[in-house]
Amino acid sequence: MRHAGKVVTRLMLLESVWDYDFSPNDNVIDKHIYRLRQKLDEGFSHSLILTVPGSGYRIDSEKTSKLTVPDIG
């Protein structure tokens, strides 16, 4: 994962994922993070996506280092 362990701000997500101007009243990020957590955390006791209050989100790099990714090529 490209940014595992690094904080990614809401603005960074809006600009890089949706090429979208930031609106502080917009909860599109919250909705998508919620859905991602539901899918990624299924069957696990802890969340892979962590909230960093006042900053954004980060992927728990300790948990991702233990994940195996299947070879699709």
DSSP one-letter code for 46 = S
Average pLDDT over the chain, rounded to an integer: 78
**When comparing pLDDT for 51 and 73, which is higher?**
51
For 31-43, write each residue's pLDDT tens digit: 889 999 999 888 8
State which residues form the domain around 46: 10-64
Q: Are the C-beta atoms of residues 63 and 1 closer than 8 Å to each other?
A: no
Q: Is residue 40 part of a domain?
A: yes
The CA distance from 61 to 3, in Å, is 9
Reply yes or no on whether the pLDDT at 1 is more than 60: no
Q: Is residue 73 part of a domain?
A: no
The CA distance from 64 to 4, in Å, is 7
Reply yes or no on whether the pLDDT at 71 is more than 70: no
Q: Is residue 1 part of a domain?
A: no
Q: Is residue 69 part of a domain?
A: no
Q: Is residue 4 part of a domain?
A: no
18 token code pair: 């949706």
| Number of domains the chain contains | 1
Q: Is residue 25 part of a domain?
A: yes
Reply yes or no on whether the pLDDT at 64 is more than 80: no
Q: Is residue 50 part of a domain?
A: yes
Q: Is residue 58 part of a domain?
A: yes
What does pTM read for this prediction?
0.67
73 token code pair: 């090529």
